Chain A
Amino acid sequence: MIPLPGKTIAEKIFSNHSGTDARAGDIVVADVDFVMGQDGTTPLAIRALANMGVTEVFDPEKVAVVMDHSSPSPLEGVSALHTMMREFGKQTGCTVYDVGEGVCHQLIPEKGHVVPGDLMVGCDSHTCTYGALNVFSTGVGSTDGAAAMASGKLWFKVPDTMKVTYEGALQPGVFSKDLILYLAGQIGVDGATYEAIEFHGPVIDELSVEARMTISNMAIEVGAKAGLMKADAKTLQWFEGRGEKTPNPQDPDPDAAYARELTIDASAIGPQVAKPHAVDNVSPIEEVEGTPIAEGVLGTCTNGRLEDLAIAASILKGRRVHPDVRFIVAPASRQILLDAIAAGYIQTLVEAGAALVTPGCGPCVGTHNGVPSDGENVISTANRNFKGRMGNSNAFIYLGSPATVAASVIEARITDPRKYFAG
């Protein structure tokens, strides 16, 4: 008999959680370690639970709901949904993160709800963010979320894995956002549909944990079910003091079977920009430099972390946001806001002309906090630039790194940030 090949990170985590020898293509019913919902999806999950006749969650310690997408509420309808979530929290005992706590994808790992080796689902497509922390985390719909909240289980198809290796080293002024935008440009918005991606290589090893999360966050933008990385010493250190749970890191076997392998020379990558209206419509910044912009956004679950605020503050220190630009800053969580205040970044950004909004999703999904006007161009650190994404289908969204956004808001046009990192 031919021995079976080794396992990918995904196959290991699904094996551990389903009590089977899980292999790509298998359909398993697996135990989940955590379930999360946000304010756009939880109300439907609550309704699905009611329809199922379920009044309790399987384990209140393992469920959280987050008010982040439209928060504080801009509308009566939203206020009613937020009330429904608060009542759900009281009824079930699950954790409720109310207005001002931050974006779900920052809070779940920040508060130690998941650790390496876990399997979790969230009712939000960017739940793949925690793959950077060696968690198999994936986005599901509200009914799936409800089933997981009720039973602590969910059915999964164990995905094939695509291995992406970043060789070389990053140039100054180039960041993890540029690496993932470059990949999207290469493989397209459906380049990894139904698959998991594992990210490897010396460039990933060098990145901070925060910078790695930016990459895994956007795995869904190429269709992937998860964007996984190994847990190294940095990952384990990041989790210290965040909670009681013990990490159980899962490395892929050296002879794991990958569906495809792709190697990218990161040294050759400069700042990248995704142009309207698709995340894979990516160009090197040289091709879009000079495009006028009316709004800049720094924040979101992609790039609203402390390091991102630090990069923007380093560029804007002693400079001014162009008078023709609105520069909106949304820290990803209350803790990040506090840390950024302590480090002086908020002072710098606000002095430079930034409009600071509540920790949360900010203007990302077009419900409030900076809906662009007809015909306007926006440069954003977010992960999506679909038509209408920010609430106006006649606006144009460009995506780039925090450095690219900071450099661009100074000049009111898309600007290569490398000049601030020269020498």
Chain B
Amino acid sequence: MELSAKAFKYGDDINTDYIISGKYKFKSADMEAMAHHAMEELDPHYYDKVKPNGGFLVAGKNFGMGSSREQAPLVLIHSNTKAVLAKSFARIFYRNAINTGLPVVECDTDLIDDGDDLVVDLEAGVVRNLTKGTEIPFPPLPPVMAQLLSDGGLVEHFKKYGGFNL
């Protein structure tokens, strides 16, 4: 799967309260409406910037630390975030992203600046930075996770097989 979009870059240790504040998680179960608040604590205009043409959320280490709220990957998906690229991820966010069908890429994000045009090839395990003319390799996903992502997440996997088939 090849994805292309612009990079929107943020820092280290971005927690789930920044991705979607806990105060919104009870307001609604409508992810499309909640997506307007995605990343609001760090960037009030995230949704407006990313929604029209899609984007990659690029971050430093330990992206998604904190709560288990699945609203975090879901609001990113609904704000048209194509994938999250970070140096490392917090494990619950990582699982939730795979399970909800949001691609996550662990790579050296120091080589990406805000606004760079990127192409991410998930199978080949490479990020092509078109702006800089560079390539950033990353280790491909373990087979279990690649299968879930290619099935479109855990719900689709269950629908297809009636249970775990890993």
A positions within 8 Å CB-CB of B: 27, 29, 39-41, 43-44, 47-48, 51-54, 69-70, 75, 77-78, 81, 123-125, 127, 139-144, 146-147, 150-151, 153, 155, 157, 189-190, 193-194, 220, 223, 225, 278, 365-367, 384, 386-389, 391, 393
Contacts and interface: CB of A to CB of B under 8 A. Distances in A.
B68 A124 contact: yes
A124 B69 CA distance: 7
B26 A75 contact: yes
B21 A388 contact: yes
B67 interface: yes
B68 A365 contact: no
Contacts of A140: 68, 92, 95-96
A384 B154 CA distance: 29
A45 B159 CA distance: 15
Contacts of B52: none
Contact of B91 (A48, A193, A278): A193
A387 B41 contact: yes
Nearest to A392: B23
9 contacts: A29-B166, A39-B26, A139-B68, A147-B164, A151-B164, A189-B13, A223-B62, A366-B21, A389-B22
Nearest to A39: B26
Interface string B124-162: 000000000000000000101000000001110011000
Contacts of A225: 91
Nearest to A139: B68
Interface residues of B, number: 42
Contacts of A53: 159
A69 B26 CA distance: 9
A193 B153 contact: no
A387 B13 CA distance: 12
Contacts of B92: 125, 139-141, 220
Contacts of A51: 155, 159
B104 to A, nearest CB: 13
Q: Looking at A27, A157, A388, which has the most chain B CB atoms within 10 Å of its CB?
A: A388
A277 B73 CA distance: 22
Contacts of B158: 52, 54, 147, 150-151
Instruction: Please give me the 4 A-B residue pairs with the lowest Cβ-Cβ distance, nearest first.
Output: A141-B96, A141-B70, A190-B62, A143-B99
Contacts of B28: 77
A44 B91 contact: no
Given A125-B66, A190-B65, A387-B17, A150 B26 contact: no
B4 interface: no
B90 interface: yes
B109 interface: no
Contact of A190 (B13, B67, B159): B13
Given A54-B158, A386-B17, A190 B88 contact: yes
B78 interface: no
B18 to A, nearest CB: 8
B41 A223 contact: no
Nearest to A74: B26
Contacts of B18: 386-388
